[in-house]
Amino acid sequence: MFRTRLISGIVLIAAALALIITGGTVLLAGLFAVSLMGLYELYRVFHIEKSVLGMTGYLTATVYYINLGIPFIPDKEMFILGFLILIMAVYVMEFPKYRADQIFAGFTGIFYVAVMLSCIYQTRILPGGAYIVWLIFLCSWGSDTCAYCVGVLIGKHKMAPKLSPKKSVEGAVGGILGAALLTLLYGWIFQTQMNLTLQYIFAFAGVSAAGALVSMIGDLAASAIKRNYEIKDYGNLIPGHGGILDRFDSVIFTAPLIYYLAQSLIR
């Protein structure tokens, strides 16, 4: 099991490296594919993955990603309200096929998966984004690794026993500090390429610490949905890790945080 998890983890990291280093349309297309797979996994929890409601969600995600590459929707509110009207139209026209919770899952899923993941691409296209984008993974996957190590070594106090019995308060603190330290090291190594002063390196370390905290919320939120609907994993696409949402649950939350905080720092 460990060997399978390790190999699939290496393949996943290699794929992420290739997409993010290449950037541009390749990264956008890759995130679109990942978003559709993640959306399918989420919709499957609510039994709408192959329904008209699910197809409406996939179509909306497609329109959203096309608009990121070739902007044609003049206002974000127009997109949100248009999608809401469309999904409510499906609700009333198909009534009583869908329950209210399925409708809300169909609507929320677009933002929870597709829109939040797209912030990886939006971070990548910022000035200096080729380097800043890695903070998303430093404060999600990096903090997760640090939290695990600290938790195994000295973890005693349970953080959320009903959601994730193995997570500890000590591990959480280790994850936050680990993300900050990794970012300090990363900023120091690429200081010239990122054109950062020492002050900005410490500022980005603070951003990563905040990102690590938010990544834990993302991880636990995904676990809460699984507990509510009594499922072990969202899928089995990634051997040893589960589905897209099992592996990207923390990244989904850190991506928008890093994008907006980095954007404000750049200004």
Instruction: Write out residues in the chain with pLDDT < 50, as ranges.
Output: none
pLDDT at 61 (0 to 100): 97
- CA 97 from centre of chain: 31
Domain-wise residue ranges, the chain: 23-125, 128-267
b or e along 139-171 (b: 16 or more beta carbons within 10 Å of the residue's beta carbon)? bbbbbbebbbebbeeebeeebbeebbeebbebb
pLDDT at 154 (0 to 100): 85
Cα–Cα distance for residue pair 256/118, rounded to 1 Å: 8
pLDDT at 266 (0 to 100): 66
Cα–Cα distance for residue pair 240/247, rounded to 1 Å: 10
pLDDT at 144 (0 to 100): 84
158 DSSP β-pair partners: 168
Find out whether 252 and 116 touch, Cβ atoms under 8 Å.
Answer: yes
